[in-house]
Amino acid sequence: MSRSRSVRRLTTAATVLVAAVAQTGAAQRRVASSSTVPSLIVFITVDQMRPDYFERYASQLKGGLGRLYRGGAFYTDAHQDHAITETAPGHSVTMSGRFPAHTGIVANVYGVNDPRTPVIGGGGPGASPFRFRGSTLIDWLRIKDPRSRALSVSRKDRGAILPLGRAKESVFWFGTDGRFSTSTYYADTLPTWVQQFNAKKIPQTYALKWWTLPLPDSAYKEADSVRYEADGEDIIFPHPFPAEPDQVPRVFANYPAMDSLTAQFALAGVNALNIGRGPQTDLLAVSFSTTDAVGHKYGPDSREIHDQVLRLDRYMGAFIDSLYKLRDSSTIAFALTADHRVQPYPELRAER
């Protein structure tokens, strides 16, 4: 079966998992010809990523998504076979290889919420993996070499916590106060490098700015105004950020720039923690969450999700290029997956 036919068939499933492992050029050949294990595994989860987005926008994907899609092993029959396809259950299976019934994370409400482990400095409810059962990839790496370490980053607490299971590694997520933080399950204070990153107050710099289209209107085939989107409010480009800097963090997750911020924070962590320098294999888990926020608000057939995927492609391209400047590209293995997908608005589909 051809790649395109396989991808189209999978879009009819309730939820899918798409995986890719990629290196490029000479680096790919060196890895293929060497028995040396990677010094860094970069495990990327795109929250609510549908597999047909790759084929739908293929000609416009010039960055990280495009490189992984065209240069890696693309699994067209990889899918999740469990009932409640939400963020928490999905993230609990990606690096554990077990169904939610066996990870203990069967729904978002039974995910990571834990009032006994508050977020350091506030900015969200307490969270921990106390419900999680079993082991994950980082545990298996540490059995092989106790020196292996992990850094997990996401906009969502469950997106950062659950890929690593119960392991007490470096785990951080974004709060409504505009800071990346962690809970007392992992630490008592924030590391200096996290405090320095937060001190830049990057989200607040978007006050009075707009989410605009970087490409001409002709590059987007979708209608810009669909009455079912966003409850009928803020449905036309450009989309404004709040005017007050202190109000931006509350809604920042709804804008593509959140994925850029997540990538910047992950790179800062790699640099500060010396992740991936070897000789052991380290793990960097990054969950990009904006596709989920935009997909819920505007739907999978919207101009907004089209632009979100294109922007994520650019952000991921810059992320990979920056990572290659920090670490030898021949020692890095990438994996790309999704935690769940999304269906179109029923009303819109009925009209069509």
Q: What is the set of active-site residues?
A: 87
Residue 271 CB neighbours (<10 A) = 14
| Coil, helix or strand at residue 250 | helix
Count of residues for the chain?
352
In contact, 61 and 69? CB cutoff 8 Å: yes
Cis amide bond preceding 240, omega within 30: no
Where do we find the tokens 């009303």?
347
Question: What is the distance between the terminal CA atoms of the chain, rounded to a whole angstrom?
Answer: 29
CA atoms of 80 and 93, how far apart (whole Å): 9
Q: How crowded is the C-beta side of 41, counted as CA atoms within 13 Å? A: 20
What does the DSSP 8-state code read for residue 157? H
3-state secondary structure of 113: strand
83-110 in b/e form (b: 16+ CB < 10 A) is eebbbbbbbbbbbbeeebeebbbbebee
C-alpha–C-alpha distance, residues 136 and 12, integer Å: 29
Q: What are phi and psi of 45, to 5 degrees?
A: -115, 125
Alpha helices in 145-221 (DSSP H): 157-161, 192-199
How far apart, in whole angstroms, are the C-alpha atoms of residue 179 and residue 155? 10
**Is 239 within 8 Å of 257 (Cβ atoms)?**
no
Residues 6+ positions from 333 with CB-CB distance below 8 Å: 21, 23, 31, 38, 40, 41, 42
d(CA 57, CA 30): 30
